[in-house]
Each structure stands twice: as structure tokens, then as C-alpha cells.
Amino acid sequence: MREERIIALAGLLQAVALVRAIAARGGADATAMQPSLASIFKIDADSPADVFGGIGKLRAGLETLIAQLNDDKRDLAVTRIAIAVMRIEGKLRSRAAMRGKLREGIETIARQTAGSPATDPLVTARLAQLYVDTISTLTPRIVVEGDPQFLRQDAQAAQIRALLLAAIRAAVLWRQLGGSRWRLLFRRRQYSMLARGLLAQCTLSGS
């Protein structure tokens, strides 16, 4: 169960790190973006690892998690977004109607874009609109800081919103597995060790 929580947390941080990269630099690693966005459609996966297509697809998330648990390497912008995502997930838990609307919207997008990769601009645009219609109505809204020239561009803005939806999906999984911000706060060292172990598995398997 502890490793499963790490997998969910790595999924959350992978999506957030991608958001940060797009906002600050205008683009992010498509190899990491594909499993993050695809996870939105894995509503009924067999295991936490399956949500992301296997632990090997979470290398960037595990590396980000390890860095975030290290005071000297932490990116405060990533920390702020991750905390905001967890807060929004908490608000979402008490809104059954919105959860239903999200599920229906995700299933509709999956049918409409069947066969297209999750990074396809049409997929990200529709996920972004679903985010605007649902999650962005909750307060306080998730604030993403970055370079205005990238934040104003439709393609980048759509990717950011779609990835925030992926981050919330991971936060829901994290909570379902018994994760909490208090648990994370008091078990940072243990979580760092577990994350390093999972990252080593990625390296050994050549993923």
C-alpha cells in the first residue's frame, strides 16, 4: 500500500512538473506527458501502476518527488501547484454532481477521440474545456505562474489545463489509497526512500 501511494504521488508530481515546464519554457517532455494525460481515461484500472501504464512511465514523477522531498532541491512553484491540486481534490470530494459530470465528460472524450494519442491537440483541447467547465469553477482556483507569452497561447494553455486534470486524477487516487498531506509531511524520509527504490526499478528494467 505504501508503494502504491508513492506511485499515485509520483503521478501527481509528474503532471505538475509538466505544467511548470510548459508555463516556464513553453513545452515539456512528450514522453512523460503521454502517460500523464492517458491516466485521465484510466477510470477503472486494475492497479495504481496500471493507471500510468506501468512504473517505468513515472520516471519523471519519481525524480520530481525525490527532489521535492529534499529541502535543497525543491521547486517551490511545483510545491504550490501540488498543494493547490490537493486542496481542489478535497473540494471535489464533496461535489458528487461535479464528479459525475467529470466522469461523463471523460468517457465522452474517450469515445470521440478513440485511436488518438492523449497528447493529440484535439484531445488536450477537449480535456481543457472539461477542466474549464468543472474544476475551474471551484475556489480557490489553481494558479499557474510562468511566462505570459506561453500562458496566453491556446495550445499551451490547453496542455496546462489538461495536465491539471491529470494531476487531480492522481490526487484522487492518492486519497483513495489513504494518502494525506499530514502523512506526507511526517513521512517524508520514508517516502523518499520508497521513491528511490521505485526509481531504481525503472533503471533496472530499462524503462
56-99 pLDDT per residue, tens? 999 999 999 999 998 787 899 999 999 999 999 999 999 999 99
Question: What is the C-alpha to C-alpha distance for residues 50 and 179, in angstroms, rounded to an integer?
Answer: 18
Record the pTM.
0.94
Question: What is the C-alpha to C-alpha distance for residues 51 and 91, in angstroms, rounded to an integer?
Answer: 22
Q: Residue 83 in contact with residue 77, Cβ under 8 Å?
A: no
CB atoms within 10 A of CB 205: 10
> What residue ranges do the domains of the chain occupy?
2-205
The domain defined by 2-205 folds into YcfC-like (1.10.3890)
Give the chain's count of helices (H) and strands (E): 11, 0
